[in-house]
Amino acid sequence: MADSITPSDPWQALRRFTAARIALGHTGISQPTSAQLDFQLAHARARDAVHQALDAASLAPSLAAAWPGSPPLLLHSAAENRNVYLQRPDLGRRLDAPSRALLAAPHGGEGRHDLAIVVADGLSALAVARNAPPFLQALHARLAAEAWTPAPLSIVEQGRVAVGDEVGELLGAQLVVVLIGERPGLSSPDSMGLYLTWAPRVGLTDERRNCISNVRPAGLGVEEAADKLHYLLAQARARRLSGVGLKDETDEAATLAQGGTGAFLL
């Protein structure tokens, strides 16, 4: 009976190529009940991801295993809780006083580290809990044989992207990379973003950063994301810049390596 009142959508075959809500079908002029229920479930998962607290203490051991070295530093932004964090983005961009004191000594010092890694909950703690450990493991494998002096890994609760600037500045790092949960979509509550900044310091704006987005199993895989970030890290250190002056040219390099021209029209 259900088949007789819910005609199949001619685009149905295309759904295997995307998680987007296409070819949902219809019953009369309305969506089928199943599509409406799926939408409500996805919306609830997105809301849960925004409000879910980051369990930093539980996450720290898996991050430490993926990124060997000093134990992770547990930090907190100036936003004292989730409600404040969501209403005051400015507080999520700065550390609280105890966290600043923790970084000032003995970990900090001008030029002491090449690279600082910051893991922050952002708008989806779920995203970093799922994706940060395997991504860090993949990145560490690429950097281990190179001459990098990393700072201790930092975990920031109630943190936004720009909080990495203060962490990097206090640690005296040349580069900072922030792994952060992105704003959840209706089909992607677990999407993680990567933000790279050369010479981090408080007050920088977004044109100074490079971003790699949508790192998750159904999006950009951790191995490919690690390749892209590895390339950007090497270029940023060699050219001493990041942001609009630094482009991700990994796709062009791969095309040339395969004998292609890299030109769309040729």
Which residue in this structure is represented by tokens 């550390």?
95
202: closest CA among 235, 171, 243?
Answer: 171
Please, are residues 180 and 146 in contact by the beta-carbon 8 Å criterion? no
Question: Ramachandran region of residue 262, left (φ > 0), alpha (ψ -120 to 50) or beta?
Answer: left
Q: Is 211 annotated as a binding residue?
A: yes
Q: Is 119 annotated as a binding residue?
A: no
Pairing of strands 173-181, 192-198: antiparallel
Give all strands of the β-sheet with 209-215 in edge-to-edge order: 73-76, 154-157, 113-120, 173-181, 192-198, 209-215
Q: Is 215 annotated as a binding residue?
A: no
Strands (E), the chain: 73-76, 113-120, 154-157, 173-181, 192-198, 209-215
The pair of three-digit structure tokens given for residue 35, joined into one six-digit string: 């599509």
Cα–Cα distance between 264 and 262 in angstroms, integer?
6
Please, are residues 158 and 83 in contact by the beta-carbon 8 Å criterion? no
- Residues annotated within the binding site for adenosylcob(III)alamin are 161, 182, 211
- Residues annotated within the binding site are 161, 182, 211
